[in-house]
Amino acid sequence: MTHARAEYDLVVRGRVVLPDRILDGGFVAAREGRIAAIGSPGAAPPRAARTLEVGDAYVLPGVVDTHVHTRSEPAEGITRCTEAAVAGGVTTIVDMPYDMPAAVPDLDTFEHKVRDVAAEAVCDVALYATIRKEGGLDEIPRLAGAGACAFKMATYEAHPVRFPRIPDGELLAAFRRIAATGLPAAVHCENQDIADRGVAEARRAGDLGPSAHGRSRPPVAETEAVGRVLELALDAGVHVHIVHASVPRSFDLVHRYRAEGVRATAETCIQYLVLDEGAMDRLGALAKINPPLRAPEHVAALWDYLAAGRIDQVTSDHAPWARERKGNTGDIFANASGAPGVETLLPLLYHHGVAAGRISVLDLVRLLAEGPARTFGLFPRKGALVPGGDADLVVLDPAARWTVRAARLHSACGWTPYEGMELQGRVVQTFVRGRPAYEDGAVVARPGDGRFVRPTRQRAAR
Ligand SMILES: [Zn+2]
């Protein structure tokens, strides 16, 4: 590779992780925010304004966390959430549309949020849109035109207006409109009737302890909804994306429909890999999430599926509720569902996956960077160390050991379900488009440094 006279802004030399191989002693060179050159081991690094020699540390593509809620909890917001992101090696988030007090189902709200991202974000941000419970489908092409990268809908009602259950007929009609945009239709899959009945039965029995949450929403509550949504997607011809799948059978169903020609993708979340239902007794409402934590045999099978390439991506479903919303010890059902996780996503998957010998480093970057970027139309600008892509880099020290402490994390919520967990592998530095965002233990990027990111492979709406 020639780079005579080339002046770069940044060169990082270490164990450079490309999509298909690792360059031990290679380098990545950035100019004007993009990756301008990738050098092989042995090649002399070119001159640059700043050169970093990171030795045995990995140089990874920035993580793309496609399941983040910056505004469900108003105390968090875009700035705090994206500060937590870069401290955890996440350089792009895809933000959910279920904002408090109002969701993002129309063009005006969406454009307002785009402006807020430009002013408040520390890392790059792509945005989900959603639809109203009924009667809002004409907004779909307008939202696609404004740069939404996907539409989020739910088969389970968390709130009648902000986070509604979309009735099946409306969901099918929405899928047909979304198919014309080429964007993914992403769905929270839980069967409302099964979950409601489960909660009502628990209440009647006075079964209100932490473990009742999981019993009220058995795996079939998820897999029935996954199957229904895939069948609707087959008819509509839409790219369907299943969010936060918690059991292996959900992925089996996705693969079954893929074999029939459906463009179907699916994510699991780090909490379904690192915690099981036993954590409810230890953590109580802090571990209450939807779908719930599952039995150990499901967790073990999900790891097998990760290693076998049957799972496209791992996300955090970062939902940083204030601790007061998790404080009802007498009634598990009275607590908010969700937990923070954007800052711990990469370290947890490295420790429990790579350091534990369950997946490779190449699997890690596929699951956290390339896979999510491809699903949401952000690849190859995001998601891989390739010339021409954005210079979003993470330096991860694979030998460093540390202990998760909420007091040192950057989310406003002040708690983590992983408190006290000892991990091997630590994020040392994060660069967003070639600029330092996190180093020496501190977030150095500022609100406004992050940018709104549009998907690139969108077709014109019909
Ligand atoms: Zn979520």
Q: Report helix, strand or coil for 217.
A: coil
Cα of 340 vs centre of ligand 1, distance in Å, is: 10
Query: What pLDDT score does 34 carry?
Result: 98
Cα of 29 vs centre of ligand 1, distance in Å, is: 35
Radius of gyration of the chain (CA): 21
Cα of 96 vs centre of ligand 1, distance in Å, is: 7
Cα of 317 vs centre of ligand 1, distance in Å, is: 5
Cα of 297 vs centre of ligand 1, distance in Å, is: 24
Whether 5 shows a pLDDT value over 80: the answer reads no
Backbone CA torsion sign across 134, 337, 415, 64: negative
Chain-wide mean pLDDT for the chain? Answer: 96
User: Which tokens is 208 given?
Assistant: 């209100």
Mean pLDDT of 114-136: 97
Report the distance separating Cα 308 and Cα 340, nearest Å. Answer: 28
Select from 345, 305, 320 the least CA-distant residue to 66.
345
Report the distance separating Cα 143 and Cα 131, nearest Å. Answer: 10
What pTM value is reported for the model?
0.96
Backbone CA torsion sign across 80, 82, 85, 89: negative
The 10s digit of each residue's pLDDT in 156-182 is: 999 998 999 999 999 999 999 999 999
Cα of 319 vs centre of ligand 1, distance in Å, is: 7
User: Which tokens is 385 given?
Assistant: 């160390």
Cα of 318 vs centre of ligand 1, distance in Å, is: 7
CB 87 within 8 A of CB 409: yes
Cα of 315 vs centre of ligand 1, distance in Å, is: 10
Between strands 150-154 and 48-61, the pairing is unpaired
Cα of 243 vs centre of ligand 1, distance in Å, is: 8
pLDDT over 90 percentage in the chain: 95
Identify the structural domains of the chain with CATH numbers, from first to last: 8-60+392-443 (2.30.40.10), 62-375 (3.20.20.140)
Cα of 378 vs centre of ligand 1, distance in Å, is: 20
174: DSSP letter: H
The 10s digit of each residue's pLDDT in 292-319 is: 999 999 999 999 999 999 999 999 999 9
Burial of 128 (0-12, 13-18, 19+ CB in 10 A): buried
Cβ contacts of 20 within 8 Å, gap of 6 or more:
362
Report the distance separating Cα 294 and Cα 273, nearest Å. Answer: 9
Report the distance separating Cα 98 and Cα 150, nearest Å. Answer: 13
Helix (H), strand (E), coil (C) string for 58-119? EEEECEEEEEECCCCCCCCHHHHHHHHHHHCCEEEEEECCCCCCCCCCCHHHHHHHHHHHHH
Cα of 4 vs centre of ligand 1, distance in Å, is: 48
Whether 11 shows a pLDDT value over 90: the answer reads yes
Query: What pLDDT score does 42 carry?
Result: 85
Whether 382 shows a pLDDT value over 50: the answer reads yes
Query: What pLDDT score does 6 carry?
Result: 55
Cα of 68 vs centre of ligand 1, distance in Å, is: 7
Mean pLDDT of 340-357: 98
Cα of 294 vs centre of ligand 1, distance in Å, is: 17
Whether 458 shows a pLDDT value over 70: the answer reads no
Query: What pLDDT score does 404 carry?
Result: 98
The 10s digit of each residue's pLDDT in 230-241 is: 999 999 999 999
Select from 125, 117, 122, 124 the least CA-distant residue to 84.
122
Select from 77, 79, 92 the least CA-distant residue to 122.
79
Select from 145, 112, 149 the least CA-distant residue to 127.
149
Mean pLDDT of 73-98: 98
Provide the Cα torsion 409, 415, 419, 424; round to 10°: -30
Query: What pLDDT score does 44 carry?
Result: 86
Phi, psi angle pair for 8, to nearest 5°: -110, 155
Residue 457 pLDDT class (50, 70, 90 cuts): low
Query: What pLDDT score does 461 carry?
Result: 37
Question: How far is C-alpha 35 from the chain's CA centre?
Answer: 23
The 10s digit of each residue's pLDDT in 16-49 is: 999 999 999 999 999 999 999 999 998 888 899 9
Q: CB 407: neighbour CB atoms within 10 A? A: 8
Q: Report helix, strand or coil for 161.
A: coil
Cα of 291 vs centre of ligand 1, distance in Å, is: 10
Report the distance separating Cα 72 and Cα 9, nearest Å. Answer: 37
Q: Which one-letter amino acid corresponds to residue 62?
A: G
Q: Report helix, strand or coil for 54.
A: strand
Mean pLDDT of 215-219: 98
Select from 27, 32, 47, 2 the least CA-distant residue to 389.
32
Cα of 69 vs centre of ligand 1, distance in Å, is: 7
Whether 2 shows a pLDDT value over 90: the answer reads no
Whether 291 shows a pLDDT value over 90: the answer reads yes
Between strands 124-130 and 90-95, the pairing is parallel
Cα of 392 vs centre of ligand 1, distance in Å, is: 24
Query: What pLDDT score does 462 carry?
Result: 32
Whether 3 shows a pLDDT value over 50: the answer reads no
